[in-house]
Amino acid sequence: MKLLLLPGDGIGPEVTAVARAVAERLISQGLALDIEEAAFGGASIDAHGTPLTDAAFAQARAADAVLMGAVGGPKWAGVPRTVRPERGLLRLRRELELFANLRPVRCWPALEDATPYKPQTVRGADLVFVRELTGGVYFGEPRGIEPLPGGGRRGFDTQVYTSAEIVRVARAAFRLAETRRGKVTSVDKANVMESGVLWREEVTALHAAEFAHVALDHMYADACAMALTRRPTDFDVILTDNLFGDVLSDAAAMIAGSLGMLPSAALGIGPTPGLYEPIHGSAPEIAGQDAANPCAAVLSLAMALRHSFGRADLAARVEAAVEATLTHGFRTSDLAGGSRRVGTAAMGTAILERLG
């Protein structure tokens, strides 16, 4: 099996180095895995003039899983929009058709006191977003910025979904709910958007046809934002479009205490590799300072073990090692509480020690 690492920008290389060390530990214990690395995002712009070279894309396609660190940063703020660092990521998601983005969020018992919530509000919260990842306003055409005849300019994007796009991601959400607590909350703005009306109709029809045994409710995106804060324990699987999922998953991160705790998996259908990413960004303000939290990257590796390598056993071991590390009080600076303030590398060492 092949794992392609795309460390990317900012804190990406630091956190993927920890994930790599965890993978190498598993390899030394018998996991048959080849690790490759390629430049990505701003790092690839600097080296090759493009955020994702065709060679790196071919490497990704040939891998079983791709683990990305983070992309972007102020250094590339001035590059033309078509070659922004993020474009490499969007190309990977789109061309590999990784339409189902799983973003699990839980309140770790060890971090109950590290969130901005009252412990009783978040205790036991355990939910997962299934975010549509290859459609919607991220890719809809037409889009652009154009001058207006009378002066000024007009910027526009297109929010668009086909029924096929909605049905395949909704199916992924229902299937996931079957393996969990059997509840899907579908999020839209059907009160305002036509694409939201279609979203709700298609999800409702699929539910009636194939998943009537799963509980389904619908929520407007704004109400969902509030409900996530008020009663996060109410949720099991949250099905969203691309943009709502981006926004709501960052907001939900505080249930875990930090964006630095949230992994993700982007999955397609058939032989396409899975793409695994911490949901945090490149955090340029702390890059290179050994301050980033590597947990999200390590937990993303665990998701790769589970979803791409068929090794749920190893995934559970890695997750348990992260949990034990937190329970022992180790915290990077993004996490409140704890008894041992450590940097990225020391957090990695602590995780490895508990991995055995």
In the complex, minimum distance from the CB of residue 86 to ligand IPM, in angstroms, rounded to a whole number? 4
Residue 323 makes contact with Mg ion by CB under 5 A = no
Question: Least distance from C-beta 309 to Mg ion, angstroms?
Answer: 25
Looking at the Cβ atoms of 112 and 246, the one nearer to Mg ion is: 246
183 is catalytic: no
CB burial of 254-293 (b: ≥16 within 10 Å; e: otherwise) equals bbbbbbbbbbbbbbbeeebbbbbbbbbbbbbebbeeebbb
**By C-beta, is 202 or 246 nearer to Mg ion?**
246
* From the list Mg ion, ligand IPM, none, partner contacted by residue 39 (C-beta under 5 to 8 A by kind): none
7: CB partners within 8 A, 6+ apart: 13, 16, 17, 37, 40, 43, 69
Q: Distances from the Cα of 41 to the Cαs of 83, 191, 215, in angstroms? A: 9, 37, 40
Check: CB of residue 137 under 8 Å from CB of residue 174: no
What residue ranges bind ligand IPM (CB under 6 A)? 71, 86, 89, 246, 279
Task: Determine which one of 236, 241, 246, 334 is catalytic.
Answer: 246
Contacts of 285 (CB under 8 A, 6+ apart): none
Detail the DSSP E strand segments found in the chain. Answer: 2-8, 34-37, 65-70, 100-106, 126-132, 144-147, 153-156, 183-188, 215-220, 237-240, 265-267, 274-276, 330-331, 340-341
Looking at 9, 161, 188, 189, which residue is catalytic?
189
Cβ neighbour number for residue 310 with a 10 Å cutoff:
12
Instruction: Spell out a b/e string for 128-150, using b for 16 or more CB atoms within 10 Å of the CB, else e.
Output: bbbbbbbbbbbbbeeeeeeeeee
Residue whose CB is less far from ligand IPM, 268 or 338: 268
CA 280 to chain centre: 8
Closest approach of Cβ 29 to ligand IPM, in Å?
Answer: 31
Q: Residue 267 binds which one of ligand IPM, Mg ion, none, with CB within 5 to 8 A depending on kind?
A: none
Task: Judge whether 290 counts as a catalytic residue.
Answer: no
Residues 133 and 239: their CA atoms lie apart, in Å, by 11
Active site (annotated) includes residue 234: no
23 or 89: CB nearest ligand IPM: 89
Catalytic site includes residue 189: yes
Residue 250 a catalytic site member: yes
Min dist CB 215 to ligand IPM, Å, is 27
Question: Which C-beta is closer to ligand IPM: that of 21 or that of 139?
Answer: 139
Interface with Mg ion, residue 202, by CB under 5 A: no
Based on the shown chain and the rule CB under 5 A, indicate whether residue 246 belongs to the binding site for Mg ion.
yes
* C-beta separation of 355 from 22 below 8 A: yes
Name the residue number minimizing CB distance to ligand IPM. Answer: 86
Work out what residue 206 binds among Mg ion, ligand IPM, none; the CB cut-off runs from 5 to 8 Å by kind: none
Q: Which CB sits closer to Mg ion, 127 or 214?
A: 127
For residue 71, the minimal CB distance to ligand IPM (Å) is 6
- Cis, peptide link before residue 263, omega less than 30° from 0: no
241 binds Mg ion (CB under 5 A): no
CB of 6 to ligand IPM, least distance (A): 12
> Which of ligand IPM, Mg ion, none lies near 64, with the C-beta cut-off 5 to 8 A by kind?
none
Identify the active-site residue in 138, 236, 241, 334.
Answer: 138
How far apart, in whole angstroms, are the C-alpha atoms of residue 264 and residue 98?
Answer: 12
Residues that bind Mg ion in the complex, under the rule CB under 5 A: 246
Residues labelled catalytic:
138, 189, 222, 246, 250
